[in-house]
Amino acid sequence: MSRRAERTYEDAVKLLNSRRRNVRPNVPSNAATGLVSMPHASSLKGKPSLSGMKSWLRHLGHLDSDIDELNVIHVAGTKGKGSTCAFVDSFLAAHGQRTGFPKRIGLYTSPHLKRVQERIRIDSRPISTDLFARYVFEVWDGLKEFDTDGPRYLQMLMLVAVHTFLSERVEVAICETHNGGEFDATNIFRQPVATGISTIGMDHVEQLGPSIENIASHKAGIFKAGSPAFSTLQDPLAAAILEDRANKKGVELQYVGVNPVLPDDAPSLGPSVQRSNASLALALTDTLLMRKQNDKMSAEDIRNGALRFSWPGRFHRISQGSQEWFIDGAHNDISVEIAANWFADVVGQDQSHATAIPRLMIFSHISERDGAALLSCIAKTLKLRGIILQRLIISTYDQRLDGINDIDRCYRPPVPDLSVGIKENYSRTWHSIFPETQAIFEPTIEGAINIARQYGEPSGAQILITGSLYLVGGALRVLEPDV
- Mean of the pLDDT values across residues 318-335? 94
Q: Is the pLDDT of residue 381 over 50?
A: yes
User: At a CB cut-off of 8 Å and minimum separation 6, what does 465 contact?
Assistant: 325, 326, 327, 328, 361, 362, 363, 471, 472, 475
Kindly report which listed range (252-261, 395-404, 407-416, 429-438) carries the lowest average pLDDT score.
407-416
Strand partners, 463: 325, 360
Per the CB < 8 A criterion, the answer to whether 105 and 89 are in contact is yes
pLDDT at 6: 65
pLDDT at 202: 84
Write down all domains in the chain, each with its CATH number in brackets.
9-308 (3.40.1190.10), 316-479 (3.90.190.20)
Q: What is the pLDDT of residues 341-351, one digit of tens each?
A: 999 999 987 65
| Helix, strand, coil share of the chain (percent; to 5) | 45, 15, 45
**pLDDT, greater one: 207 or 254:** 254
- Mean of the pLDDT values across residues 119-127? 98
Is residue 65 within a helix (H) or strand (E), and if so which, with residue range?
helix 64-68
pLDDT class for 445, splitting at 50, 70, 90? very high
Please provide the average confidence, as pLDDT, over all residues in the chain: 90
pLDDT at 5: 53
**pLDDT above 90 coverage of the chain, percent:** 77
Which of 2-11, 37-46, 49-58 ranks highest by mean pLDDT? Answer: 49-58
Which of 294-298, 330-334, 395-399 ranks highest by mean pLDDT? Answer: 294-298
- Mean of the pLDDT values across residues 40-49? 51
Distance, CA of 359 to CA of 456 (rounded, Å):
8
pLDDT at 412: 58
Q: What is the pLDDT of residues 382-417, one digit of tens each?
A: 999 999 999 999 999 998 887 666 778 775 555 456
pLDDT at 266: 96
Q: What is the pLDDT of residues 19-41, one digit of tens each?
A: 987 655 555 443 332 334 444 44
Distance, CA of 423 to CA of 417 (rounded, Å):
14
Residue type, 317: R
Per the CB < 8 A criterion, the answer to whether 87 and 190 are in contact is no
Question: With a threshold of 0.85, does the pTM exceed it?
Answer: yes
Helix (H/G/I), strand (E/B), else coil: 35: coil
Q: How many C-beta neighbours within 10 Å does residue 248 have? A: 11
Distance, CA of 81 to CA of 426 (rounded, Å):
29
Per the CB < 8 A criterion, the answer to whether 132 and 408 are in contact is no
- Mean of the pLDDT values across residues 208-218? 93
Is residue 254 within a helix (H) or strand (E), and if so which, with residue range?
strand 253-256
- Mean of the pLDDT values across residues 449-473? 94
pLDDT at 449: 97
**pLDDT, greater one: 253 or 209:** 253
Print burial letters for 435-469: b (CB count within 10 Å at least 16), e (below 16): eebebebbbbbbbbbebbbebbeeebbbbbbbbbb
Kindly report which listed range (308-322, 402-416, 468-482) carries the lowest average pLDDT score.
402-416
Q: Cis ω on the peptide bond leading into residue 481 (within 30° of 0)?
A: no
